């Protein structure tokens, strides 16, 4: 069955640096991959979607890559700020291009001033 | 739009009691999802509905769990009888199906069964 893994449970970086989070999946390549942000006591918030035919997607200080050969997505936050501290989750659909999302367990990012 | 609305925010109940969690999805969204989140297992999909019809309930742990969606603006997740291992945060999410759009999650219900 399809599995999704976020290798780091926690990542600590200094303000101003670039944070890079990793998401790996097994088996078939999904039609797209999504990234979410979750703050304590809140539900996940959708950030970005990248499709299998897209190598890279950007939104303000966020950049996502999708490598179907490596079965991996990288999520970058440039010029990180303490306000970026949160847990970041990746998600992929299972059952083809539609259907439900399965989520990784997330990486908790802490940006120190 | 007020987003996905869940109630209650917190629920503490005794083992064996019935618990009902409620969700109002975003107007116009045609898919609704119930997830459970724990530290150990992360976010797990319990059930999802498309156009008010249950499509996949394979994630429902056992017969003690049931979910309904009587109309496009309301869904319930019921646990009867509740057990301590059901303690978790339960999220409802909605989306427009088959567009690849992100899900909109509610703020969740933190359930504690003692």
B26-43 per-residue burial string, b: 16 or more CB within 10 A, e: under 16: beebbbbbbbbbeeeebb
Residue A2: the pLDDT is 75
Integer CA distances (angstroms), B54 to B33, B50, B65, in order: 10, 7, 14
Q: How confident is the model at residue A8 (pLDDT cuts 50, 70, 90)?
A: confident
Average pLDDT, chain A: 92
Residues of B with CB under 8 A from a CB of A: 4, 33, 35, 41-43, 45, 48, 56, 91, 93, 97-98, 100-108
Q: Quick check: helix, strand or coil at residue A34? A: strand
Q: What is the pLDDT of residue A46?
A: 96
Nearest residue on chain A to B95, alpha-carbon basis? A100
Q: Which residues of chain B have pLDDT under 70?
A: 1, 98-100
Q: Tell me the percentage of chain A whose pLDDT exceeds 70.
A: 96
Residue with tokens 């898919």: B31
- In eight-state DSSP terms, residue A28 is S
Q: Kindly indicate the confidence band of residue A99, based on its pLDDT and cuts at 50, 70 and 90.
A: low
Grade residue A34 by pLDDT with cuts at 50, 70 and 90. Answer: very high
B/e letters for A56-92, b = 16+ CB within 10 Å, e = fewer, are: ebeeeebbbbbeeeebbbbbbbeebeeebbbbbbbbb
The answer to whether the Cβ–Cβ distance between B56 and A41 falls below 8 Å is no
Contact assignment for A100 to B42 by CB distance below 8 Å: no
Q: At A30, is the pLDDT very low, low, confident or very high (cuts 50, 70, 90)?
A: confident
pLDDT of res. A75: 97
What is the per-residue pLDDT for A9?
Answer: 85
Confidence of residue A97 (pLDDT cuts 50, 70, 90): very low
Instruction: Using a pLDDT cut of 90, give the percent of chain A over it.
Output: 75
Q: Are A92 and A30 in contact (CB under 8 A)?
A: yes
Instruction: Report the alpha-carbon distance of residue B73 to residue B51 in Å, rounded.
Output: 10
Per 3-state DSSP, chain B is made up of helix, strand and coil in percentages (nearest 5) of: 5, 55, 45
Residue B100 confidence (pLDDT) = 66
Contact state of B56 with A49 under an 8 Å Cβ cutoff: no
Mean pLDDT of A10-21: 96
Which residues does chain A have within 8 Å of residue B40's beta carbon, measured at their own beta carbons? none
Q: Which residue of A has its CA nearest to B50?
A: A99
Of A23-32, A68-77, A83-92, B1-10, the poorest mean pLDDT is in A23-32
Q: Which residue has the higher pLDDT, B96 or A65?
A: A65
Indicate the DSSP class of residue A18.
Answer: P
In chain A, residues with a C-beta closer than 8 Å to the C-beta of B35 are 103
């Amino acid at each position: 069955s399809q599995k999704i893994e976020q290798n780091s449970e926690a990542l600590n970086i200094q303000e101003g640096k670039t944070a890079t989070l990793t998401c790996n999946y097994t088996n078939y390549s999904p039609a797209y991959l999504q990234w979410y942000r979750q703050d304590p006591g809140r539900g996940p918030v959708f950030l970005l979607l990248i499709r299998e035919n897209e190598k890279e997607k950007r939104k303000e200080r966020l950049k996502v890559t999708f490598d179907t050969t490596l079965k991996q997505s990288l999520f970058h936050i440039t010029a990180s700020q303490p306000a970026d501290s949160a847990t970041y989750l990746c998600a992929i659909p299972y059952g083809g291009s539609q259907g439900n999302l399965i989520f990784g367990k997330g990486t908790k990012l802490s940006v120190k001033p | 739009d007020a987003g996905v609305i869940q109630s209650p925010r917190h629920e503490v109940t005794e083992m064996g009691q019935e618990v009902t969690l409620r969700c109002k999805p975003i107007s116009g969204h045609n898919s609704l999802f119930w997830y459970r989140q724990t530290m150990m297992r992360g976010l797990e999909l319990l059930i999802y509905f498309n156009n008010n019809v249950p499509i996949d309930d394979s994630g429902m742990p056992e017969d003690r769990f049931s979910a309904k969606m009587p109309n496009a603006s309301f869904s319930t997740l019921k646990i009867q009888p509740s057990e301590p291992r059901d303690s978790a945060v339960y999220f409802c999410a909605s989306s427009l199906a088959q567009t690849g759009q992100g899900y909109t999650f509610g703020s969740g219900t933190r359930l504690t069964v003692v």
